[in-house]
A = this chain, B = another copy of it.
């Protein structure tokens, strides 16, 4: 089996850690690192919902994603123009949808939780690390209002997979991501049910066999990420 540029086997995650006490004032917070990628996830609760859903006894969960200017070697320009960058918009919609798949909006009550994922250092896989960390920040925030067990219906974690030099690999870092023929993000519950599958040929196409190979690797990775989430939250694990 060929090894990867950093010596990992195709089915091996980068070292991953979740810090529950990064500097922040948010109700829920978690800083996740996956290799060199570091994302600060914070969750804030507002005892209100958007006007279009008021009075239905249900809450809402939304997400924002941003890369700090220093997160990349060449400075990343801030998303301050009148137009939100298309990639940013896509990612934050994905994070929001993924979290909502794990939340009972009735159990949440008429509250809005906004989860912010701010990338401090980017080395591939920022959107999937954001989702995995965001779930932990969300649980912590809901805990502060005693709503975690009523609102959380499953755990959520995500990982990237891809095809590099014809071989499916797990958890691509940035140099691999640039060379990948296929890039795929998989979000599942802790039980392995799919929430979101997004695979894209990057100037290439992919076969059914490669798709199956990538899905299998994603399952391997997410199992480990779910175990880390559970270990990190300890007795706060809401399920």
Contact = CB atoms under 8 A, between A and B. Distances in A.
Contacts of A89: 84, 86, 89-90
A224 interface: no
A215 B64 CA distance: 31
Contacts of A215: 208, 211
Contacts of A198: 197-199
Nearest to A81: B82
A100 to B, nearest CB: 7
Nearest to A116: B69
Interface string A127-138: 000000000000
Contact of A26 (B75, B97, B208): B75
B199 A197 contact: yes
A24 B121 contact: yes
Contact of A42 (B69, B97, B199): B69
Interface stretch (A3-11, A49-57, A187-195, A229-237): A187-195
Interface in A100-134: 100-101, 114, 116, 118, 120-123
Q: Which of A100, A195, A200 has the most CB of B within 10 A?
A: A200
Contacts of A196: 199-201
A179 interface: no
B24 A44 contact: no
Contacts of A193: 201, 205-207
Given A23-B38, A189-B205, A197 B194 contact: no
Interface of A: 22-26, 29, 33, 38, 40, 42-44, 46, 64, 66, 68-75, 78-84, 86-87, 89-90, 92-93, 97, 100-101, 114, 116, 118, 120-123, 154, 184, 188-189, 193-201, 203-208, 211, 215
Given A97-B200, A193-B207, A194-B201, 20 more contacts: A23-B33, A23-B121, A24-B121, A25-B71, A40-B70, A44-B74, A46-B75, A68-B118, A69-B118, A75-B114, A75-B116, A81-B82, A82-B83, A84-B89, A86-B93, A90-B90, A193-B206, A194-B206, A194-B211, A196-B201
